[in-house]
Amino acid sequence: MEFLPRRNALALVGTAVLAAGAGLLASGCQQDGPFSETDLAMLRTFALSPLGPDGSNSSADVALAAKLGKQLYFDTRISGPLGPYDVRGTNGSLGNAGDTGKVGCISCHDPANGGSDHRSQPAATSLGAGYTPRNSPTVINAAYAPLWQFWDGRVDSLWSQALAPPEGANECNGSRLAVAHLIATDYAAAYVAIFGPLPDISGFPASGKPGDPAFDGLTSDDQKAINRIFANFGKAIAAYERRLVSPAFSPSPFDEFLAGKSDSLSPAAMAGAKIFIGRGGCAECHRGPLFSDLSFHNIGAPQEGEHAAITDVGRYDGIAAVQANPFNRGSEFSDERTNDHLTGLTAGDDDIGRFKTPTLRNVSKTAPYMHDGAYPGLWDVVNHYNFGGETGLYSGDTDPAINPLLLSNEDLDNLIEFLGSLADGDPLPTADFPEGLTANPQP
Ligand code: HEC
Ligand code: HEC
């Protein structure tokens, strides 16, 4: 026994361990062998939990709101003109420069396909009206985050996140006035049923956002009326996104395993799981039901790519941004005003280069990887960790948990196999969405 590598120590704690493990392989190699009780207890901490409530959005769990949100999510008319990069037929362009009404949430987050962008792979970031300086993360399970959205956590709710893309120059390049008019003309009945009376905005300018004379010229009451409709747009979308969670899809092999189907993980995935919770140290940050601590770390992901920002300080700037956000949870647009999470939150040097730990559920479907999409595949990711994160230039200092791992190529393959077992299956039919949770409702 003393000749066994140290890494197998956990598997040898007591004789009950092997019998109790869910493992099936009686192979001589301990590493591919059954899980120990300790391993299993650890793996169970990744089991999906019920989605918590969101008091800041009183429509969060209203079925009508989820239905309206789904329509808005797929509606590309929320967008203004495409920019100069857009040339139809190149790198997933949604049209030609100047075309309007081409970009919606669906363009960069297809829930039928892992929830991220599958069009603009070569440039690693996403092409909307322009190239986003960061890579699009999955929307599936984004609802589980109790506060922070975006890689830098610059918004503190799912609904206020949805207010950024319509006006982002690289995303939809549209405006809140245009969104409000779209709701008033095409979605008024559903809106009123959910949120109450819709003010008459027919005389308002067709488009405009803060900073534009058309919006800034409105009285403050009129601006507030538009902001209210805009916030409710976000709340409807968030209600839909709250449906886009792993339990709405047939279970991943990993979830099946936790549910007791012990043969759903391949031997390689099991070996990978042990590395993930053991020698790889991955669960230090990728823990809990989402495989994320929902916190921010600097892992030294290289700042690279034609359209990525030249430097990106991540959370350092995200903190000031969330404090200043007029739609944060402390704002008048929040249905339950809370400030505790913002009080005393200030950016320190440690925040430089920190990014939110992404969920690893569905990760095999969401290439490219990291906040800037620097890595085309999962092999590049695990290799990054194996080298202790030193694979290129980045801002700030890496987290002390990031160290060279000395894993073999086989270990890395096994880790990738395990990550693959975290992918959900097909969406399950639901009573509220007979056409399917991910099917396009737009004509
Ligand atoms: C042009 C592509 C594009 C479009 C269009 C787009 N997004 Fe995104 N989305 C991104 C990128 C890129 C990020 C990451 C940006 C960042 O963190 O700075 C992101 C981040 C997110 C996140 C945060 C996920 C997380 O875990 O932090 C959510 C949720 C989301 N988008 C939903 C939406 C919704 C809802 C819409 C429509 C209103 C939308 N997106 C439109 C590219 C896009
Ligand atoms: C110190 C915390 C920490 C540890 C330890 C850690 N990660 Fe990460 N992981 C992160 C953060 C933060 C990011 C995003 C970093 C960025 O984009 O700059 C990330 C990104 C990833 C991604 C890319 C996901 C995507 O959607 O782009 C994968 C895959 C991943 N990690 C897997 C692993 C594996 C496997 C291990 C163990 C070998 C590991 N991580 C260890 C924090 C950590």
Query: How many Å apart are CA 270 and CA 80, to the nearest integer?
Result: 48
CA 443 – CA 441 distance, rounded (Å) = 6
- The predicted-structure confidence for 71-83, as pLDDT tens digits, reads as follows 999 999 999 999 9
Residue 392 near ligand 2, beta carbon < 6 Å: no
Pocket lining: 141 vs ligand 1, CB cutoff 6 Å? no
pLDDT at 34: 82
At 122, the pLDDT band (50, 70, 90 cuts) reads low
Name residue 371's amino acid.
H
| pLDDT, mean over the chain | 91
Q: Residue 360 in contact with residue 289, Cβ under 8 Å?
A: no
Nearest ligand 2 atom to alpha carbon 282: 37
Res. 190: pLDDT tops 50: yes
Ligand nearest to the CA of 148: 1
Higher pLDDT, 386 or 2: 386
Nearest CA owner, ligand 2 atom 11: 357
pLDDT at position 221 over 50: yes
406: how many CB neighbours lie within 10 A of its CB?
9
Give the closest residue (by CA) to ligand 2 atom 37.
Answer: 282
Q: What is the pLDDT of residue 120?
A: 85
Matching residue, tokens 């790519």: 305
Taking residues 29-54, what's their average pLDDT?
Answer: 86
CB distance 358 to ligand 2 below 6 Å: yes
How far apart, in Å, are the Cα atoms of 172 and each of 109, 124, 179, 241, 436? 13, 18, 11, 18, 25
For residue 401, name the pLDDT band (cuts at 50, 70, 90). Answer: very high
Residues in the chain: 443
Q: What is the pLDDT of residue 7?
A: 30
Residue 348 CA to ligand 2 centre (angstroms): 22
Ligand nearest to the CA of 308: 1
